Amino acid sequence: DGGITQSPKYLFRKEGQNVTLSCEQNLNHDAMYWYRQDPGQGLRLIYYSQIVNDFQKGDIAEGYSVSREKKESFPLTVTSAQKNPTAFYLCASSWQQNTEAFFGQGTRLTVV
Amino acid sequence: ILNVEQSPQSLHVQEGDSTNFTCSFPSSNFYALHWYRWETAKSPEALFVMTLNGDEKKKGRISATLNTKEGYSYLYIKGSQPEDSATYLCALINAGGTSYGKLTFGQGTILTVHP
């Protein structure tokens, strides 16, 4: 089945540790996105990538890093510089600019 | 930052009522406007992708219109059902400049349909 997969679903980390969230798609989509959702807020864009080996900062990129070495993969690293990392993270992908985005199931990260 | 605004923030209606929400935006420099439905414990799913001024889309009891000149899109639900309860998200994709391809979401409208 084609789709977009995020893992793990729940993640716990100690404060000060870097953590990497996985996002893999087998839809042959060029564009991939990472969003963060906090309680009572909408989806805020962290990073996005239109093509392999290229990515751009979104609206809240500070404290995060990404890579796009393969078309199907767009991992997000939450670094220790991110002041409030506890949140729900959603990954999405789309084929072209005027086509719909498909979303993964999300990863809920809790930093203690 | 492209400001995509949705209103109202939340809405409670009775089963059978028709309802509508608004998505407003300041610029017409975008490729497409998307509407998504996000049900609890699920992933957001696309309802419509709209690209042209005056574009209208319909899927069952749900329809949407787009007015790029005035900077708004409406989503209509006719005869709301409890299963329509969800968060409805609007999003725009930037067409050019350094933000080419950026997909920006509004805050969403939370719809609750009471039986």
Residues in A touching B36 (Cβ below 8 Å): 101
CA distance A47 to B27: 22
Q: Is B34 helix (H, G, I), strand (E, B) or coil?
A: strand
Q: What is the pLDDT of residues A25-35, one digit of tens each?
A: 999 999 999 99
For CA atoms A61, A66, A68, A70, the dihedral sign is negative
Residues in B touching A35 (Cβ below 8 Å): 105
Q: Which residues does B contribute to its contact with A (CB < 8 Å)?
A: 1, 31-32, 34, 36, 43-46, 49, 51, 89, 91, 93, 95, 98-108
Q: What is the pLDDT of residues B6-34, one digit of tens each?
A: 999 999 999 999 999 999 998 677 888 99
Three-class SS string for A7-44? ECCEEEECCCCCEEEEEEECCCCCEEEEEEECCCCCEE
Measured between CA atoms, how close is B75 to chain A, in angstroms? 16
User: What does the pLDDT read at residue A55?
Assistant: 96
The confidence band for B5, taking pLDDT boundaries of 50, 70 and 90, is very high
Give yes or no for residue B1 having a pLDDT over 70: no
Closest residue on chain B to A56 (Cα)? B99
